[in-house]
C-alpha cells in the first residue's frame, strides 16, 4: 500500500543502523569497544586542564591588577610602604601557580590511544578531571578577586593613614567617612595619644588576616582538585 515502508526500505534502515552502531562501538580489530571509553571522553579531560589554568590565571591577574594599581597610587605619597604592601600582589600571583600545578597533573594523566587505535581513557576519568579542573580554577578565580579587592582598600587605607590624605575617589560610596581626618583621631579612650605608626600596623595586620583567609579559598580548591584527580578508571 502507498505510504507504508516496503521490506527493502526496512532492510536498508536496519543495515544503516547496524553500521552506525558498529562504527561507533567497535575497535580497530572488529571487536566491541568499551562503552565507558568513547572517543570524545578525552575532550572532558582537556577541558578540565583548560579550566584549571585559565580560571586560575584570570583570578591571579584580577587580584594583581586591583592591588597593584592601589600600591602604585599609594607609593606616590608614601614610598616607604611599598615593599610591605606588596604582599597582596605576591599572594595573587601564587594562585596562578595552583592552576599550573593542577593543569600539569591532569595533562599527564590523560592517556593517548593505543597502537591499535583503541581508546583507554574513560568517561569516568574524564569527568573526574573536569571536576578537578573546575574546583581549582573557579576557587582560584574567586580567591583572586577577593585578594584584589581586600588588597585594594587595605593598601589605600595604610597609605591614607600614613600620609593623612584622601586616597578614595570623592564620588565613590566608599569615600563616606574617609574624606577627612577627624581632629581627635589620634586620641585613645583613656586620653593617651596614638601614633600614626600604630594605626598603620593595626590596619596592616587586619588586611593581612583577610588576605590569608582569601588565599585559603584557592588552597581548598587545590587540595580538592588533587584528591579528585586520583579517581581513575582505565579500559583494558
pLDDT per residue as tens digits for the range 6-58: 555 555 555 444 444 444 444 544 444 566 667 788 898 999 999 999 999 99
Report the SS3 class of residue 26: strand
- Indicate whether 67 pLDDT > 80: yes
pTM of the model: 0.71
Which phi and psi (to 5°) does residue 185 adopt?
A: -65, -30
Q: Is the model's pLDDT at 70 over the cut of 70?
A: yes
Q: What separation, in Å, do the N-terminal and C-terminal C-alpha atoms of the chain show? A: 51
Distance, in Å, from the CA atom of 136 to the CA atom of 99, rounded to the nearest integer, reads 6
Measured at the CA of 28, the angle between CA 22 and CA 34, to 5 degrees, comes to 60
CATH architecture of 41-228: Up-down Bundle (1.20)
Q: Across residues 72-88, what is the average pLDDT?
A: 83
pLDDT band at 205 (very low <50, low <70, confident <90, very high): confident
Residue ranges per domain, the chain?
41-228
Please report the pLDDT score of residue 144 as a whole number: 96
Q: Does 221 score more than 90 pLDDT?
A: yes
Question: Could you tell me if 186 and 196 are in contact, meaning their C-beta atoms sit under 8 angstroms apart?
Answer: yes
Amino acid at each position: 500500500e502507498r505510504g507504508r515502508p516496503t521490506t527493502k526500505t526496512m532492510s536498508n534502515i536496519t543495515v544503516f543502523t547496524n553500521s552506525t552502531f558498529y562504527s561507533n562501538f567497535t575497535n580497530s580489530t572488529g571487536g566491541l569497544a568499551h562503552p565507558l571509553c568513547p572517543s570524545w571522553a578525552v575532550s572532558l579531560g582537556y577541558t578540565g586542564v583548560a579550566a584549571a589554568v585559565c580560571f586560575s590565571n584570570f583570578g591571579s591577574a584580577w587580584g594583581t591588577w586591583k592591588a597593584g594599581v592601589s600600591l602604585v597610587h599609594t607609593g606616590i605619597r608614601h614610598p616607604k610602604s611599598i615593599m610591605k604592601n606588596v604582599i597582596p600582589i605576591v599572594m595573587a600571583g601564587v594562585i596562578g601557580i595552583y592552576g599550573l600545578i593542577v593543569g600539569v597533573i591532569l595533562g599527564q594523566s590523560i592517556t593517548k590511544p593505543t597502537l591499535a587505535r583503541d581508546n583507554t581513557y574513560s568517561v569516568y576519568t574524564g569527568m573526574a578531571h573536569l571536576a578537578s579542573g573546575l574546583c581549582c580554577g573557579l576557587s582560584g578565580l574567586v580567591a583572586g578577586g577577593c585578594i584584589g579587592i581586600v588588597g585594594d582598600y587595605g593598601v589605600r587605607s595604610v597609605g591614607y593613614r600614613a600620609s593623612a590624605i584622601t586616597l578614595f575617589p570623592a564620588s565613590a560610596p566608599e569615600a563616606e567617612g574617609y574624606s577627612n581626618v577627624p581632629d581627635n583621631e589620634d586620641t585613645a579612650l583613656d586620653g593617651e595619644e596614638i601614633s600614626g605608626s600604630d594605626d598603620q600596623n593595626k590596619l596592616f595586620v587586619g588586611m593581612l588576616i583577610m588576605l590569608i583567609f582569601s588565599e585559603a579559598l584557592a588552597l581548598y580548591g587545590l587540595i580538592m582538585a588533587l584528591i579528585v584527580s586520583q579517581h581513575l578508571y582505565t579500559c583494558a
